[in-house]
Each structure stands twice: as structure tokens, then as C-alpha cells.
A and B are shown apart, each in its own frame.
Chain A
């Protein structure tokens, strides 16, 4: 852990402000995320934690302040460059999986690879390998509606990690699951991320989900407070 904390941050936010109309969502956020660490961003509803995730991931651009990824100023990039960054270097898992409903599990997992130019046959092969690692080989041909919520969410984890992203952003990844399914999703997500050295930014209001992280930061009223490194 000390090695992680003393390394150069992979992702930084400095003095980040963002408002939606007249409503301030982020009011001067400073945050460092180091390579390979798993950081939980916690806070009550409406505190700005999901907005912070979207800003860190380059989905939203701050009104003031800077976000850097591996030394690059994300806010200074154009929309197309930020989209390329997200496709090539970032992965995403949301509360409701966001799997495409008309595609099988294997097709959903292979999709980011095909968008990145990997031939369909190779992409499907890699997708099936990932599903096998996640104990989901029997679900490869199933549509999202034919799987349990926990299975669908683990497929979403596979889809997020199949392209070997440097940072995985997870927004309430266990929000719609029961305790046992949530545990399986978080164990899968953190085991795979740690094995690959993938950095994880995990937004959650649930302390049991946050407990899988190395440390937490709390967002309250649009400001972030650092937690404690275990």
C-alpha cells in the first residue's frame, strides 16, 4: 500500500468546480488516485459523488480546475479525444449493468474489443475466456434478461475489464443486488482488478461495498475529504 501512495498519481483532480445551471455539484474537489489502488468515493445522495466520477472519467468537463490522466489534461481534450481515451484506457460498470439487451453475454463482452478494431472472431474468443474466468461460461449465449441480476452485473464487469483498462470506474455496482450477489460481484471485480494492476474508482453509498477498497474519500456538499489508508 505504501508503494501505491508514494507513486505518481495516475488520476488527479485539482480545484474542480462544476455546476448544473445555478446548482453547484462540485465545489473545489482535490483528489489523487494512484496506479493500482482501489478508492471508494462515498457520500450521501446528492453529495456529488457520481458527478465526480463523470468528471474524473472525462464524461463531464469541469467549469473550473483540472483533471489529469497520466499527466494529460483531460479537460483540454476535445470530445473525440476524450471518447478515444474512454474506449482505450477506461472501463465502466454502472448500477444496472447497462448491457445491451439484444446481445448475448459473449457479444456484450466482445463489443468494446470490436469497437477498438479487434476482429469479431478474436473478440468473441477473448470474451468467452473472460466469461469462463468469471464462472459464466454457461451464460455466454444468454441475453441479459435471461440472467440473474448478479450474473448480468458480473458480465458487465467482464465487459469493463476485457480491454485491459488502466482505470475502472464503477458507479454503485452493487446497488440493485442482494447481499450475496453483491459480495460475488465485488470479490470478482476487486480480485480481477488487483491481479491486473487496474486502478479502480468505486462510487458507492454502501459501506460494505466500500470495504473492498484500499481507502475511501467522502464527498459532502460537493467537496471531498480524504479517508484513511488501511
Chain B
């Protein structure tokens, strides 16, 4: 699944009304931070780029919650850009040949223990799922849904790991040809 593009998200947040960089950063962190907060520098650099491209405009100097005075508003072109972003579907599973698939095949070619490799990865995935499940406990709904998204994707990987484990003998024969 495609990673979050912070520029599109910041533009989307500005679509709800004019704001300052400081407030945008905190709005982003609250809804999308998930343990990886946006740096102030990145916010201001992104706003400068959006301004250059005519997607946002400056409303002039006016103090907000934070120390900065520049207040930004989305332009009509910016709102069009947000609409395009919202309704352009993401590419499902853009990576066909994952690193794990490559490792499995190389392990088989080398005569290494591919079963163990998959077991180690399974344990890592389950550990991550436990951490995400614990993170959901008592969290707000946005955090719960963000964790669920990650959990379902990890689960999909695990299903692939289980299926590949069951087919290792067959795969071993195929790569040995």
C-alpha cells in the first residue's frame, strides 16, 4: 500500500479552513502521527513548495496558537489537487517480488534453511501484531483504525508466509531446475 504523502495530507487539512504551520503540524500529528511525528522544518518546506505551485496562498500576518504569524489558505487549484488525490486509487500491492520472496528463493538456492527464515519472519510479524494490538487498547478511534490497517497488512504477509511454508518442497524442486 502507498505510503502517506504528507504534502497531500497537509493540503487536505488546509481544505478545512485557513491555518498556520504550527497548527497544521499538530493537526497532522494528532490524526496521522502514529509515533512518527512530522518535523516543523518539513511542514514549512512543504508549505513553501505548495505556495510556489499556487496550491496555497498567504493570508497575511496574524498570530495563531503557535509562534508563527504566516497564515495559509488553500486555493481553487489546491482544492482540485486534493480531489484528484482522494479519488485516484492507490496501486494495490505495488511490489510483486518482495524482499522476503527473494530471500526465500536465495535460501533454497544456497541449500540454507528456508523454513527457519520463514519462522523467524513469522515471529517478527506476530511480535509486531502484538505491539499494535496493545497500542489499540484504550486508544482513540483514529489510532485504532490506523493500527487495524497495519494489522490487516501484516496478516496478509503472514498468510503468504504460511502458504509458502506449506509449498517449500515444491518451490525447492522448481528453483533447482
Where the two chains meet, the residues of A that have a C-beta atom closer than 8 Å to any C-beta of B are 44, 187, 207-208, 210-214, 216, 218, 225, 227-228, 230
Q: Contacts of B158 on A, CB cut-off 8 Å?
A: 207
Contact check, A228 vs B126: say whether CB atoms are below 8 A apart: yes
Contact check: which of B127, B152, B162 meets A228 at CB < 8 Å?
A: B127
Cα A187 to Cα B137 in complex, Å, equals 8
Known: A187-B137, A218-B119. 12 other contacts (CB 8 A): A207-B125, A207-B158, A208-B129, A208-B155, A210-B126, A212-B130, A212-B133, A214-B130, A216-B126, A227-B123, A227-B126, A228-B123
The chain B residue sitting closest to A229, CB to CB, is B127
Q: Contacts of A228 on B, CB cut-off 8 Å?
A: 123, 126-127
Fill in one digit per residue for B128-163: 1 if any A CB lies within 8 Å of its CB, else 0: 011111000100000000000001101100100010
Count class of interface residues, chain B = 10 to 19
Cα A210 to Cα B123 in complex, Å, equals 12
17 A-B pairs (CB sep. < 8 Å): A44-B166, A207-B129, A207-B154, A208-B129, A208-B151, A208-B152, A208-B155, A211-B130, A211-B132, A212-B130, A212-B133, A214-B130, A218-B119, A227-B123, A228-B123, A228-B126, A230-B127
The chain B residue sitting closest to A43, CB to CB, is B162
Cα A207 to Cα B119 in complex, Å, equals 14
Cα A192 to Cα B122 in complex, Å, equals 28
Cα A210 to Cα B129 in complex, Å, equals 9
Cα A218 to Cα B165 in complex, Å, equals 13
Contact check, B130 vs A225: say whether CB atoms are below 8 A apart: no
Q: Contacts of B130 on A, CB cut-off 8 Å?
A: 211-214, 230
Contact check, A230 vs B131: say whether CB atoms are below 8 A apart: yes
Cα A216 to Cα B124 in complex, Å, equals 11
Contact check: which of A207, A214, A230 meets B155 at CB < 8 Å?
A: A207
Q: Contacts of B166 on A, CB cut-off 8 Å?
A: 44
Cα A212 to Cα B151 in complex, Å, equals 12
Cα A211 to Cα B127 in complex, Å, equals 8
